[in-house]
Structure 1
Amino acid sequence: MNAPTELKTAYFAGSLAYLEALESPRPSPPPDPRPAGAQPDAEVAAFCMPMLAQVGVLHLIEAWRTHGFHSADLDPLRLHEPQHLAELDPARHGLTADDLDQEFEVGNLGGPARDTLRSILSRLQSAYGGCLSAELGHVSDPQRRGWLQMRLEGPCPLPLTAGEQRGLLVQLTAAETLERLIHTRYVGQKRFSLEGGESLLPLLHEIVAWAPRLGVAEIGLGMSHRGRLNVLQNLLGRSVFDLFRSAHDDTPVDGRGGDVKYHQGFTAQVAGPHGSVRVALSFNPSHLEIVSPVVEGWVRARQEALDDLERNRAVAVVVHGDAAFAGQGVVMETLNMAATRGFTTGGTIHIVLNNQIGFTTSDPRDTRSSLYCTDVVKMVEAPILHVNGDDPEAVVRAARIALEYRMAFHADIAINLICYRRLGHNEQDEPMVTQPLMYRAIKGLPSTRERYAQRLMGEGVLRDAAEADALVEAYRQDLDAAPIAPPLPTPSQWDTFRHKTWRAPGETAVARARLETLGQALAQIPAAPFTLHPRVMAVQASRRKMASGEQALDWGMAELLAYASLLEDGYSVRLTGQDSERGTFSHRHAVLHDQNRTERDRGVFVPLQAMGQGRARFNVVNSLLSEEAVLAFEYGYAGVASADTLVLWEAQFGDFVNGAQVVVDQFIAAGETKWGRLSGLTLLLPHGYEGQGPEHSSARIERFLQLAAEDNMQIVQPSLPAQFFHLLRRQMLRPYRKPLIVFTPKSLLRHPLAVSPLEDLASGAFQPILDDDT
């Protein structure tokens, strides 16, 4: 039995039955036959009162499970005190002080099956009222909810050993000492310090350390600027040379434009006690949260490269800011992908680095309309673990639970890491100007490292403060002793495509006999009883004539032949968009539908899926109605796959690409000059002033031309099917990978003059300019 299955089945069946019984409607009580005002007999009272108390105890347990997080000790600053809800008061459930030392059945509450009310309350307080709590009321699946309750209510399955506690202190020491060292050596430089949120580092360390134990080989990591330098250095082990060079100068040595140090990505093989895992931190622009769908696309591509059908070997972990997580619409768009067939990655671990402030805005009445910044994940029923960042052991426990849950149920889960920001938004900012209340609380507050060191001294794990201080000095010495030399370059699949000219040739013609064979396969009609719509029957009949050369090729047939020939050549094809299976203008019909089917998953035929050679696959996906998140996802996917996969995103109308303008500006147009990232992503943008109004006419060619510089992307408006055929094949067959922007036609899709003979596909190549012979 594999680890995820063991995790899931560990939740015993009796607990599930108990939860279902609680959720079932209760029958109405029978009418009381006694006259009004009659008092119950003493015997009846003696019999009923214990039963009523027992019911009250069970209701109290459920109340703590649903509302206990409101009373938890979560805020290190004590600006938001725990709420004392009436639902958590035993008296609300008919219990009195006389019941405190009575024993009751506890249902499936973790621990002994019977216990005193006093002990039950203590257990509930420990499970939900401490520094780690959970918000589960929105999780409708009783199995998932019960699994989490068992993890929280029972004793910690693997409490930290003294050695692990010391290791945790070492991680906190590294996080704090690095920030202070940079602050003193490079005074006033922006680094977006992690101070106040240092527990993020042990949280990530714990996920990375436990991942191999559960079968994870790769982690796609996304985060914004806050704490990024710390993660690069203390989690991923980036060279000290890169750390200090970036502090002096962000300009790349290879002559690119470059980007600031807190946007840089990095990939490393991180070793731990249970094995090693490859962690890839995505490059990130200043536009908050846009990296989230990019990471999801990267992870999906890695899962497919690893043949990871169960989505266990590559996992997405994304670190968010509290203000951005509640405020940016791309968060909702990305969450909406979580369970969709074309975009799921089998669950994401969301970590909200909740420093309770967004730049200068910290009043929740201004930052969001929800109670918590994590409320947005309720749309996908993701459980929420709330944890106090000043309790590192609670943070580590949350990390373990989150990873195990993701692997057990292949679903999203969120950790709300509640901490604070010791300095300003950046190191040049004075936060007291706008936040005197918050920063009076922060001033003089011991750091997380200092508090944890005191705790370990109290537990006898450390002898004295000098032992903790020695860890600080040891870290400083390790940094100073590290070799200050540039690291050796790491070989990459992209090296083949670097420093190539756009004029590099590509043999894109395909032999006529091969085209005819592929064309007939594309035009086939599935055997009876599969029944096509009459209009699609006519399309397929026309395509058979095109395949034999009796009829000139239209746009849709030339496009499908390009995909079919690439698949035969061993290249995969992935096409996504809001109506890409049929095509917005009903020209593609890559997916055929049986008109008489009675089940959703039956009666679908995709001719191209049978044409791939070797590992080549064809995937066409009708996406959710999103531009920004879907295009960002495809950019992340292409960043892994476009060396051997034609990755295409199609806008429903070209006008709508401006809904994803951040992706175009920050990744597609500038990703190479900022970060050295190559991409072969192809955009198909229907364009044409054809009387359909201002929102369905222009893909804004002028905007793309303004973005074009230094051979950063290819911008093309083909007018003939053969041109489109050669263009698509050239995108893969040339040793050249740059984004391709194609302004595709609308009325020309079926125009009788916009056709190409089969021979134009069997010879020639893409022509940058077609002369007008008239």
Structure 2
Amino acid sequence: MHLRIIQRRLASIQNNLIRTYKYQSKVFGFNTQLKTVGNTEEIEKILRDYNQARQANPHAALLIDAYRKHGHRLAKIDPLGIILNTSIPELDKNIFTVDFHVENEYDARSLFGLSTEQSIPKTKDDWIRQLNETYCQSISLECEHIESDIERLWIARRFEQLRTSPTISSDIQQRISEQMRKCETFDQFLQAKFPTLKRYSGEGAEGMMAFFDLAFKQSAQLNIENVIVCMPHRGRNNLLVCLLNYPAATMFRKIKGKHEFPKELKSTGDVLSHLYTSTDLTYDGKTLHVSLIPNPSHLEANNPVAVGKTRACQLSLKDGHYADTDNVGRHGDKALCIQVHGDASFAGQ
């Protein structure tokens, strides 16, 4: 009798815990009916074609999976050439002993991200050559931590398609050149006027400015309203002054050690590399609000704050799961979080 009572109590506690974390209907902040990524029918078709191609070409699918999971370990990312991995057990050719041919072009494009300009690999050796050129060069990708099958497949395919150089219009080339020259000029000015300043310059990473500019522009074109950015020290001041409208005079005043607040206020500022701002940028007539959050000395403290602020924006804008109506909107339609890590890993940090 007592055992049955205990079992019932345990079952009741278990049900309460399940109800806390798993909902079968819409609740505030979690809408099971909300479409998460793109068109549902289109997603189902992509996954169906992908699974059919895997069943028809199992050996090719296993080879592609192996490179998507482990190809980054053979990438040539050491610019000094000290560490050169030439082989790993997971990609040993002796594992993939069965020769195969992928004759169906549609199957090949379902399995692997091939652009229209790329020829279709057919034999095992062709596929190994293609995969090595994609995943084992100076740039690679590892995305196995992504839980969603369609998201993981999408980002892998997009990376694989980028192996062919995309066509960049002259207008975009000019825009990229302008942003990089601004960044370089800013560093040269600080070097000339404040030679002893520890400024964490953007020298050698000027391409970062082009990335941010194009990311902000595309965000505005997609009607995103808020972008929250967290990033390391390196190149931070360049981004603030050259792209985010931070007054250069204010930064120079701080560098010179002058007061940042009225003298009657007992306040102190933070170090130069922790500056932050919020500003409105305009692209093609559309306004985008960009927030660069205050920078801590350790990036692991930066990331959750940026995610939390993005979630707060989604809540206030009724974006994604916070939408009032069912089946309207997607995650990130109005608010986007961009997290940038530093290059300290090169120094073993």
TM over 0.5: yes
The equivalent residue for 2:132 is 125
The equivalent residue for 1:226 is 234
The equivalent residue for 2:337 is 316
Q: Name the aligned partner's letter for residue 122 of structure 2.
A: T
Secondary structure of 1:130's counterpart equals coil
1:5 to 1:251, Cα distance in 2 relative to 1, 3 A: same
Give the Å deviation of 1:303.
2.5
1:13 equivalenced with 2:36 (yes/no): no
- CA contact 1:179–1:193 (8 Å) conserved in 2: yes
1:353 equivalenced with 2:342 (yes/no): yes
**C-alpha deviations, 1:168-204, integer Å up to 9, x for none?**
2333333233223211210111212233433332232
- Partner Cα separation in structure 1 for residue 219 and residue 314 of structure 2: 15
Give the Å deviation of 1:275.
3.2
1:87 equivalenced with 2:90 (yes/no): yes
- Partner Cα separation in structure 1 for residue 43 and residue 86 of structure 2: 30
Secondary structure of 1:249's counterpart equals coil
- CA contact 2:232–2:299 (8 Å) conserved in 1: yes
- Partner Cα separation in structure 2 for residue 147 and residue 216 of structure 1: 21
Give the Å deviation of 1:211.
0.9
- The within-5 A match list for 1:101-500 is 104-105=103-104, 106=108, 108-111=111-114, 115-117=121-123, 119-154=126-161, 159-255=167-263, 256-273=267-284, 275-286=286-297, 288-308=299-319, 309=322, 310-318=331-339, 351-357=340-346, 362-363=347-348, 367=349
Q: Which has the higher helix share?
A: 2
- Partner Cα separation in structure 2 for residue 212 and residue 58 of structure 1: 38
The equivalent residue for 1:469 is none
Length, aligned pairs only: 293
- Partner Cα separation in structure 2 for residue 224 and residue 14 of structure 1: 37
Shifted more, 85-94 versus 186-195: the winner is 85-94
- Partner Cα separation in structure 2 for residue 274 and residue 82 of structure 1: 49
1:273 to 1:110, Cα distance in 2 relative to 1, 3 A: same
1:71 equivalenced with 2:92 (yes/no): no
1:72 to 1:165, Cα distance in 2 relative to 1, 3 A: farther
- The within-5 A match list for 1:30-45 is none
Give the Å deviation of 1:276.
3.1
Q: Name the aligned partner's letter for residue 258 of structure 1.
A: G
1:63 to 1:6, Cα distance in 2 relative to 1, 3 A: same
1:169 to 1:119, Cα distance in 2 relative to 1, 3 A: farther
1:104 to 1:355, Cα distance in 2 relative to 1, 3 A: farther
- CA contact 2:275–2:295 (8 Å) conserved in 1: yes
1:142 to 1:300, Cα distance in 2 relative to 1, 3 A: closer
1:257 to 1:141, Cα distance in 2 relative to 1, 3 A: closer
- Partner Cα separation in structure 2 for residue 4 and residue 276 of structure 1: 25
Q: Which has the higher strand share?
A: 1
1:21 to 1:91, Cα distance in 2 relative to 1, 3 A: same
Secondary structure of 1:271's counterpart equals strand
- CA contact 2:77–2:138 (8 Å) conserved in 1: yes
- Partner Cα separation in structure 1 for residue 131 and residue 151 of structure 2: 19
**C-alpha deviations, 1:634-686, integer Å up to 9, x for none?**
xxxxxxxxxxxxxxxxxxxxxxxxxxxxxxxxxxxxxxxxxxxxxxxxxxxxx
1:148 to 1:311, Cα distance in 2 relative to 1, 3 A: closer
The equivalent residue for 2:6 is none
1:7 to 1:176, Cα distance in 2 relative to 1, 3 A: farther
| Paired-residue identity, % | 23
- Partner Cα separation in structure 1 for residue 216 and residue 39 of structure 2: 18
Q: Name the aligned partner's letter for residue 296 of structure 1.
A: V
Q: Name the aligned partner's letter for residue 352 of structure 1.
A: H
- Partner Cα separation in structure 1 for residue 42 and residue 165 of structure 2: 12
Give the Å deviation of 1:93.
0.9
Give the Å deviation of 1:286.
3.9
- Partner Cα separation in structure 2 for residue 103 and residue 200 of structure 1: 39
Q: Name the aligned partner's letter for residue 270 of structure 1.
A: L
**C-alpha deviations, 1:14-54, integer Å up to 9, x for none?**
544644885x9xxxxxxxxxxxxxxxxxxxxxxxxxx9xx6
Give the Å deviation of 1:158.
6.1
* Structure possessing the higher relative contact order (Cα contacts under 8 Å, 6 or more residues apart): 2
- Partner Cα separation in structure 1 for residue 341 and residue 86 of structure 2: 22
Give the Å deviation of 1:232.
0.6
1:276 to 1:254, Cα distance in 2 relative to 1, 3 A: same
- CA contact 2:60–2:102 (8 Å) conserved in 1: no
- Partner Cα separation in structure 2 for residue 146 and residue 261 of structure 1: 41
- Partner Cα separation in structure 2 for residue 8 and residue 233 of structure 1: 42
1:141 to 1:218, Cα distance in 2 relative to 1, 3 A: closer
- Partner Cα separation in structure 2 for residue 205 and residue 13 of structure 1: 34
The equivalent residue for 1:725 is none
Give the Å deviation of 1:278.
0.8
Give the Å deviation of 1:83.
4.3
1:186 to 1:10, Cα distance in 2 relative to 1, 3 A: farther
Q: Name the aligned partner's letter for residue 81 of structure 1.
A: L
Q: Greater Rg, structure 1 or structure 2?
A: 1
Give the Å deviation of 1:218.
0.8
- CA contact 1:250–1:260 (8 Å) conserved in 2: no
**C-alpha deviations, 1:293-317, integer Å up to 9, x for none?**
3333333333233232255212222
Aligned CA RMSD, in angstroms, stands at: 3.5
Q: Name the aligned partner's letter for residue 175 of structure 2.
A: G
